[in-house]
Chain A
Amino acid sequence: AQSVAQPEDQVNVAEGNPLTVKCTYSVSGNPYLFWYVQYPNRGLQFLLKYITGDNLVKGSYGFEAEFNKSQTSFHLKKPSALVSDSALYFCAVSPPRGGYNKLIFGAGTRLAVHP
């Protein structure tokens, strides 16, 4: 069965330190990979996506994600965390050629950045 795993319910980081939010997936073929962020009382916002090409994808707000095919991972990273980055982050995959249809989401990871 196709699935997405975000192994950490919460990640705590000090402001200015690098952050990583982990995501692994189990989808056959070459899926599309996404990261979304949700701030309180707001809808999910698109951060970045990987379809093909360079394994390091740069997205909004200074975030980037690294696609690792052998480890089936797509971890979200940022070199220097901000308090304003505190939010709920979702990893999602779409089956090959699925585009934005039938996104499969992880359970979400809450990022808490402390001053």
Chain B
Amino acid sequence: GAVVSQHPSWVICKSGTSVKIECRSLDFQATTMFWYRQFPKQSLMLMATSNEGSKATYEQGVEKDKFLINHASLTLSTLTVTSAHPEDSSFYICSARQGNEKLFFGSGTQLSVL
């Protein structure tokens, strides 16, 4: 099946720094990608919908200036956590939609902010 690569799988950073997470669809073009966040023992929460060539659509309560999303090509979306703080520590997962029906997920990124 289709593969979505997410990198890095884990990252530790100092408070105040920025971290970029990449999500790539390896064998298909994805006009739409999604970014989720998961806290321990809680649901995956949709943060934003990323559309190639246009601005991302953020869910209510998600700070767009904090979580910058860029979807510059049909195979790559990036999530940048700007000025990270310990409360941003979480598990971030991307997914890419193939056509109108199939959704493929990356393996996730564990972010720890010290």
Query: A residues bordering B, Cβ < 8 Å?
Result: 4, 9, 36, 38, 41-46, 90, 99-108
Contact between chains at B4 and A43 (CB < 8 Å): yes
Number of A-B contacts (CB under 8 A): 50
30 pairs of residues in contact across A and B, judged by CB atoms under 8 Å:
A4-B43, A36-B105, A41-B107, A43-B6, A43-B93, A43-B95, A43-B104, A43-B106, A44-B93, A44-B105, A45-B105, A46-B102, A46-B104, A90-B44, A100-B97, A100-B102, A101-B49, A102-B49, A103-B34, A103-B44, A103-B46, A104-B43, A104-B46, A105-B43, A105-B44, A105-B45, A106-B43, A107-B41, A108-B41, A108-B43
Q: In the bound complex, what is the Cα–Cα distance between A36 and B95 (angstroms)? A: 13
Q: In the bound complex, what is the Cα–Cα distance between A108 and B44 (angstroms)? A: 9
B42 close to chain A: CB less than 8 A: yes
- Counting contact residues on chain B (CB < 8 A from A), the size range is 20 to 34
Interface residues of B in 17-73 (CB under 8 A from A): 34, 36, 41-46, 49
Closest CB pairs A-B (n = 10): A43-B105, A44-B105, A105-B44, A100-B103, A105-B43, A43-B107, A107-B43, A43-B106, A107-B42, A42-B107
Q: Which residue of B lies closest to A9 (CB)?
A: B41
Contact between chains at B46 and A102 (CB < 8 Å): yes
